[in-house]
Structure 1
Amino acid sequence: MGTTGLPTNITQGSRTKGGIGESTLRPDGTLKVTGEFAYSSDMWHEDMLWGQILRSTVAHAEIVSIDTGEALATPGVYAVMTYDDLPTDVRNYGLEIQDTPVLAHGKVRHHGEPVAIVAADHPETARRAAAKIKVEYRELPVITDEASATAPDAILVHENRTDHHIGHVPHPNIVHRQPIIRGDVAKARERADVIVEGEYVFGMQDQAFLGPESGLAVPAEDGGVDLYVATQWLHSDLRQIAPVLGLPGDKVRMTLAGVGGAFGGREDLSMQIHACLLALRTGKPVKIVYNRFESFFGHVHRHPAKLHYEHGATKDGRLTHLKARIVLDGGAYASASPAVVGNASSLGAGPYVIDDVDIEAIALYTNNPPCGAMRGFGAVQACFAYEAQMDKLAARLGMDPVEFRRINAMSQGTALPTGQVVDSPAPVAELLRRVKAMPMPPEQQWLAAGEAADVRELPGGLSNTTHGEGVVRGVGYAVGIKNVGFSEGFDDYSTARVRMEVVGGEPVATVHTAMAEVGQGGITVHAQIARTELGVTQVTINPADTRVGSAGSTSASRQTYVTGGAVKNACELVREKVLELGRRKFGTYHPAWATAELLLESGKVVTDAGEVLADLVDVLGDEAVEVEEEWRHRPTEPFDLRTGQGFGHVQYSFAAHRAVVEVDTELGLVKVVELACAQDVGKALNPLSVLGQIQGGTTQGLGIAVMEEIIVDPKTAKVRNPSFTDYLIPTILDTPTIPVDVLELADEHAPYGLRGIGEAPTLSSTPAVLAAIRAATGLELNRTPVRPEHLTGTA
């Protein structure tokens, strides 16, 4: 399954046991691997009802009528609600643009859109009652691509747009447009000795998290509701839910339930409002759990994209210019499309020095499934295209593809096409050097000597489709750049509440944030920070809920940076209060306290200094010290809507991959043998978690390269493969060895010098695999994922 040992070059340990720099085990790890962890779908409440959603069977249609009579008459049914039953005039929601109806009104805009909701005393009763609701549709033509979306006579997906993007887009069916213009591409083109162009197609992916959407809404005596839910951002959910319910924010109390993965798919609402509506209507707790089929319709996906790239270079391998156009399909509702456009455009040149750039990125409104956040967030699609271009240029110039990239690699001090100067380490050339220098996996014996092969090691694996005939090995490289944190002037902050007190004769720290733990290990890191900053051994992490200030979304590789920064800041303030308390109690001449004070002030409290912890007990006594503090990273600014100039991103992360693949050129089957990665993480707060993040992101990139795609019928806009039977994701048998080389080059602007790491490996792993397949087959392969028919000429 890949490398299991830690990279030897990661800084190990801290002077506080279980503090930053140590591979502290996750408290939820054993429960998860043994199947004992309680996820949101496992929740139960006495007298609980079950909710069910009726979804549209067509992608674009007028709703002529809805008849709920038979459903309401079903024994065991407590409520059936449609758009007309909603309690307030606020009936839409959305992350940025409130264009998504809670329940369809007047028309449906995509396959699987919620039309009605049912509450019943048994899940099967709810399902059967929903099936009895009669909806008459009058189908409309579907908008499925740029041509149909922007034609002069195109039907508008949203007839009465009023959002703030409408003023700068050339057509109402374009959600957002962002150009990035720097220098003079026309003049730079004249200096190029070689020019290459490419048209690239990037398929739609699903986040494929293991735990389907689920939650439990419990009506409260004060007229409010308590919602226990799997999500990525509690306070964003609250902001969208409360107005629809007609309740003040303090009467919608949200608690994070166990989350079975997210990857962006839980940033948008799914069942949250529906469960609350049914709970308030019936006066009973209501639980909603999607099945896997429904989950494919119940959350946004990764934007499919069409990308046109033109690069030029001189004979000595220097890039002269870039002209690119990126078209993202946002589907029926906006979700995070504007921000994805900003990322795709501003990062569309990749980690290279290019002085003359003209990039345009747009997102479309169509009748395809809504698309929004997914790991990599616009940068993945761009990386696939610009890395293919780098290989094309290197081939035209007769240069080694890694050396060509290194010649053009950006570094600290490089000005990006947005005009922003990168003011932290950007070791792109070094990452490429390191990943190329890593030992190559050995040639298979049967490849070298023509011997019989173990079918488990062959493309196709246990399907026993080949015994090595026509199998060719290829090697490919790629590198990518990803922003960290929210961008473009967003007020990106997080809140942490830290309390220090004596419990059972021992000093204990309690950390409370609203951070969504979605599997990334944030709760472990928060405990490590508290141990390091406060010198205590015992740290309690309170459940995440809306009783503490917002922690922002668990996305954009931001949580360790921003919420970790908030925990660190709050701990420092608690420490100052404890010091002041000690000074008041002991004075400045107490020798033992003087030792503790010195260690605390320097942040070097050590576990073998027992007298220090004893002093803390004496100082605190029956008192407790508590601080709730917000923490913000330095501000960013919106990109200029005409030129794309601006300090748009607070931090950048970089990863490079080398892929080794074996391809059966006769059958079109691919086996990825190895995906080696080199990545700069700034500071590895938990080396074991760092390794897991890099290997997990790499594996997800592998899935994008050769397996994962939601197939949407271009004529009907219906999803054709909403199941894990037909939507394939990598299994343990598909996952290659993933050796990792980690750099720790501190970013002076970040807490502990850390750098967000979770998304960068998802970028470069995909184009590295494609490059290796190209090297093995000689085919151009400008589409992902690669299917067997693309390799055998039968597509």
Structure 2
Amino acid sequence: MTRTADETAAAILHGIGESARRPDATLKVTGEFAYASDLWLEGMVWGATLRSPHPSAWIRSIDVGPALRIPGVRAVLTHEDVPGEKYFGLEHKDQPVLAIDEVRYQGEPVALVAADHPETARRAAAAIEVVYEPRPAVTDPRESQRFVRYQPVRRGDTFEAEVVVRGEYEVGMQDQAFLGPEAGLAVPAEDGGVDLYIATQWLHVDRDQLAPCLGLPPEKVRLTLAGVGGAFGAREDLSMQIHACLLALRLNRPVKISYGREESFFGHVHRHPARMRYEHGATRDGRLVYVKADILLDGGAYCSSSRAVVGNAASLGVGPYEVPNVHIDATGVYTNNPPCGAMRGFGAVQACYAYESQMDRLAEACGLSPVEIRVRNAVSQGSRLATGQVIDSPAPLADMLKRLASMPLPPERTDTDLRSLPGGVSQTTHGESVRRGVGYGVGIKNICFSEGFDDYSTARVRAELVGGEPHVTVHTAAAEVGQGLVTVQAQIARTELGIPNVTVATADTSVGSAGSSSASRQSYVTGGAVRAACQAVRERFKGLPAKEALERFGPIEETREYRHRPTYPMDPVTGQGDSHTQLALCVHRAVVDVDVELGLVKVVELAAVQDVGRILNPQALEGQIHGGSAQGLGLALMEEIQVRDGRVLNPSFTDYLIPTILDMPPMKLEILEYPDPAAPYGLRGAGEPPTLSSTPAIAAAVRAATGRRLTRVPVRPEDIALSE
């Protein structure tokens, strides 16, 4: 391929379109990278949290005396010690800093301890005597009378068809399972404020929730991003942030809190479990006439981002298909189960499993292949979503499906290597009952925040001479959570300014907000802000080469905000409205081998086609598609928080299973570039869509191998091996 002059220049600079090396790569590979759990400061003490053992109970009394009598204990706090507002929340302030007179889920924070040693702090927390009066817990979302949000979508009036298929589907509670548990260090400041070094996804919203609870103005609560070991949505909500700051301000000394793995399962939100009923009507040749859906999402004890999750499930509930008549009811409810909130692809993931399962049923009923039924109904540019919103940028879904179907299938298994069999080297099978299946999945995901949220990012860019050579510093509050954002910011600066030496400053609240590292939005909005600030700096070069301009004018600094085009709330009655700014598509094909007697599954291969608008960093992009596909595989086959009567039964990586390198198959990728003219560089957010489509593709492949309906994920061995 012949490069243009601009592309050649970008390659030399390691700019946009190149696989620029991550600045943290070597440190992470060698184990030298400093994560939040590695934070340390002279004189610091350790915090620990006492959590409720009950999913629902009144608190009759709390006696902190036994904890205070333990040598080395510096402080014990309850809700009475919260100096400001008692409640916080991401979208709705309904969550107490520390339980006041009741607990609403197992693991709810009740009291805090600070001590000279982490084991002393944990022992002291266990010594606090709390008298609970347990009460009945609402754990079945179908029985809840407390609604987070109800969102209907109504379009058209024809709900009769020649071919009708119905199904009920369920998605279990998935955990984000990031590798670095919650951790942070709070340091009291001389001005009476506090500095918090924290692993988070959203520095400014953390601060805006913290300050009122601490009784401080926002300018006295300063946050700096510490090393983040993954996020996937769980770090949008607060965990130990307020607790560490309360203890630090009480003691006037640094306080560190670092969760262990078990506490982490209780200390953050999870993916909403879902129960869904779908009905699809079509003509005999497979053209969709209508879709009816009833989507019920369990939000758990507190609101978190459940309102937005319900909105996504409703607006994307029929998938990327042209459907003239739609009747959707999406509901989120409170229960006494663990709180649920953001997780990669939220809302869209749950609905995708249901509508894709339905498309397979419809294909069977119409005598069509799984690919053909999808091609016949695929959206394209100019199509309307269920909400009436027009897709106004490229959406080459039919082409993507055809490309996927044309990829060669892996050869049939001929060897007897145990590693190639379901169950692997455990020798549970030697291939006697192994059947192969192939399945397809399609997903559509909104990119950036929706429904009228003021979605923007801020970037400050400074160009100056350092050692006689031009140097650029990029400063934003955007959280690098492992997705490669730091690398992309530097690539944009090199491309726009033609200066190879770029430093991306540590994210903190001393610069304007960048919003959350979620919704696949940071390349779009923070990338847009960095580009705008760089262009403003370049204009001040007055057409001179960078070095000459900086010698003549001195350091040049510009700050810019970038907002995407406006979105609007869904109509509360009809669900109509332009609620999303950008939409992204991914399609998967899964090939699996299944031991139909033992219920064991091995994913032999995943193939994916995804449109990303414009590739900013090829290697990082491929990593995002692989990672999203792996989380979708986990949801399809193994990942589920087991909750019984409101109690979590498997809060460890011994019992909560996530895919390992032995579970993840080889992947074939075809990445398309159909630019979105409204987006910076034409890019399209890419991190979430693979999580949607990989799950139904794998489930469909297992169905093809077994002949079972498999209406629930994760698919369990007994779902396969036991007769229906």
Q: TM bucket by the smaller chain?
A: over 0.9
Residue 13 of structure 1, CA deviation:
7.8
Aligned-partner Cα distance in 2 for 1:189–1:782: 24
Match of 2:4 in 1: none
Match of 1:635 in 2: 566
Q: Which amino acid aligns with 1:654?
A: L
User: What do residues 471-521 of structure 1 show as CA deviations (whole Å, max 9, x unaligned)?
Assistant: 000000011100000000000000000001111111111100000000000
Aligned to 2:389, the other structure's residue is in SS state coil
User: What do residues 730-759 of structure 1 show as CA deviations (whole Å, max 9, x unaligned)?
Assistant: 001000011110000000000000000000
Aligned to 1:237, the other structure's residue is in SS state helix
Aligned to 2:222, the other structure's residue is in SS state strand
User: What do residues 375-404 of structure 1 show as CA deviations (whole Å, max 9, x unaligned)?
Assistant: 011000000000000000000111011011
8 A contact 2:182–2:258 mirrored in 1: yes
Match of 2:87 in 1: 92
Residue 782 of structure 1, CA deviation:
0.3
Sequence identity percentage:
65
Residue 617 of structure 1, CA deviation:
4.6
Aligned-partner Cα distance in 2 for 1:706–1:433: 27
Aligned-partner Cα distance in 2 for 1:398–1:735: 32
Q: Which amino acid aligns with 1:656?
A: V
Out of 753, 768, 775, which is 2:682 matched to? 753
Out of 17, 27, 45, which is 1:49 matched to? 45
Match of 1:562 in 2: 525
Match of 1:20 in 2: 16
Residue 794 of structure 1, CA deviation:
6.8
Is 2:463 the partner of 1:500? yes
- Superposed, 1:354-369 pairs within 5 Å as 354-369=323-338
Residue 618 of structure 1, CA deviation:
3.7
Q: Which amino acid aligns with 2:498?
A: G
Residue 15 of structure 1, CA deviation:
5.5
Match of 2:155 in 1: 182
Aligned-partner Cα distance in 2 for 1:382–1:515: 29
Match of 2:221 in 1: 252
Out of 175, 200, 209, which is 1:240 matched to? 209
Is 2:436 the partner of 1:466? no
User: What do residues 101-146 of structure 1 show as CA deviations (whole Å, max 9, x unaligned)?
Assistant: 0000110000000000000000011011001000111011010123
Q: Which amino acid aligns with 1:723?
A: S
Aligned-partner Cα distance in 2 for 1:742–1:118: 51
Aligned-partner Cα distance in 2 for 1:685–1:476: 30
Aligned-partner Cα distance in 1 for 2:218–2:183: 21
Aligned-partner Cα distance in 2 for 1:411–1:700: 27
8 A contact 1:324–1:359 mirrored in 2: yes
Match of 1:154 in 2: none
Deviates more, 1:60-69 or 1:427-436: 427-436
Aligned-partner Cα distance in 1 for 2:547–2:693: 50
TM (normalized to structure 1)?
0.89
Is 2:602 the partner of 1:671? yes
Q: Which amino acid aligns with 2:123?
A: R
Is 2:301 the partner of 1:332? yes
Match of 1:537 in 2: 500
Aligned to 2:357, the other structure's residue is in SS state helix
Aligned-partner Cα distance in 2 for 1:763–1:619: 53
8 A contact 1:13–1:22 mirrored in 2: no
User: What do residues 678-716 of structure 1 show as CA deviations (whole Å, max 9, x unaligned)?
Assistant: 000000000111100001000110000000000100xx3
Q: Which amino acid aligns with 1:148?
A: E
Residue 12 of structure 1, CA deviation:
9.0
Match of 1:121 in 2: 116
Residue 79 of structure 1, CA deviation:
0.4
Is 2:548 the partner of 1:615? yes
Moved over 6 A (4+): none
Aligned-partner Cα distance in 2 for 1:373–1:637: 21
Out of 141, 147, 150, which is 2:142 matched to? 147
Out of 335, 339, 343, which is 1:370 matched to? 339
RMSD over equivalenced CA pairs, Å: 1.1
Aligned to 2:365, the other structure's residue is in SS state helix
Is 2:412 the partner of 1:417? no
Match of 1:292 in 2: 261
- Superposed, 1:180-329 pairs within 5 Å as 180-184=153-157, 188-190=158-160, 192-329=161-298
Is 2:103 the partner of 1:108? yes
User: What do residues 561-588 of structure 1 show as CA deviations (whole Å, max 9, x unaligned)?
Assistant: 0000000011111111222xx6xxxxxx
Is 2:79 the partner of 1:83? yes
8 A contact 1:189–1:312 mirrored in 2: yes
Match of 1:512 in 2: 475
Query: In the comparison of the two structures, how many residue pairs are matched?
Result: 718
Is 2:587 the partner of 1:656? yes
Residue 619 of structure 1, CA deviation:
3.4
Aligned to 2:34, the other structure's residue is in SS state coil
Aligned-partner Cα distance in 1 for 2:44–2:153: 53
Aligned-partner Cα distance in 2 for 1:315–1:515: 50
8 A contact 2:393–2:676 mirrored in 1: yes
Q: Which amino acid aligns with 1:380?
A: V
8 A contact 2:56–2:102 mirrored in 1: yes
Match of 2:664 in 1: 735
User: What do residues 241-300 of structure 1 show as CA deviations (whole Å, max 9, x unaligned)?
Assistant: 000001111111100000000000100000000000000001110000000000000000
Match of 1:162 in 2: none
Residue 87 of structure 1, CA deviation:
1.1
Aligned-partner Cα distance in 1 for 2:332–2:649: 23
Q: Which amino acid aligns with 2:434?
A: V
Aligned to 2:125, the other structure's residue is in SS state helix
Aligned-partner Cα distance in 2 for 1:349–1:390: 10
Q: Which amino acid aligns with 2:717?
A: P
Aligned-partner Cα distance in 1 for 2:552–2:722: 76
8 A contact 2:465–2:547 mirrored in 1: no
8 A contact 1:51–1:119 mirrored in 2: yes
Residue 25 of structure 1, CA deviation:
1.0
User: What do residues 293-312 of structure 1 show as CA deviations (whole Å, max 9, x unaligned)?
Assistant: 00000000000000000001
Aligned to 1:756, the other structure's residue is in SS state coil
| Unmatched runs of 5 consecutive residues or more in structure 1 | 1-10, 151-172, 447-452, 583-592, 594-611
Q: Which amino acid aligns with 1:672?
A: V
Deviates more, 1:429-438 or 1:690-699: 429-438
Residue 73 of structure 1, CA deviation:
1.3
Aligned to 2:236, the other structure's residue is in SS state coil
Aligned-partner Cα distance in 2 for 1:420–1:53: 46
Q: Which amino acid aligns with 1:51?
A: G
Residue 189 of structure 1, CA deviation:
2.8
Residue 437 of structure 1, CA deviation:
1.1
8 A contact 1:578–1:619 mirrored in 2: no
Residue 614 of structure 1, CA deviation:
4.4
Match of 1:590 in 2: none
Aligned to 2:83, the other structure's residue is in SS state coil
Residue 14 of structure 1, CA deviation:
2.8
Match of 1:522 in 2: 485
8 A contact 1:708–1:727 mirrored in 2: yes
Match of 1:483 in 2: 446
| Unmatched runs of 5 consecutive residues or more in structure 2 | 1-6
Match of 1:449 in 2: none
Out of 769, 772, 779, which is 2:698 matched to? 769
Aligned-partner Cα distance in 2 for 1:524–1:619: 30
Aligned-partner Cα distance in 1 for 2:679–2:50: 46
Match of 1:138 in 2: 133
8 A contact 1:681–1:755 mirrored in 2: yes
Aligned-partner Cα distance in 2 for 1:375–1:392: 27
Decide which structure has the larger Cα Rg and report it: 1
Aligned-partner Cα distance in 1 for 2:653–2:621: 28
8 A contact 2:541–2:550 mirrored in 1: no
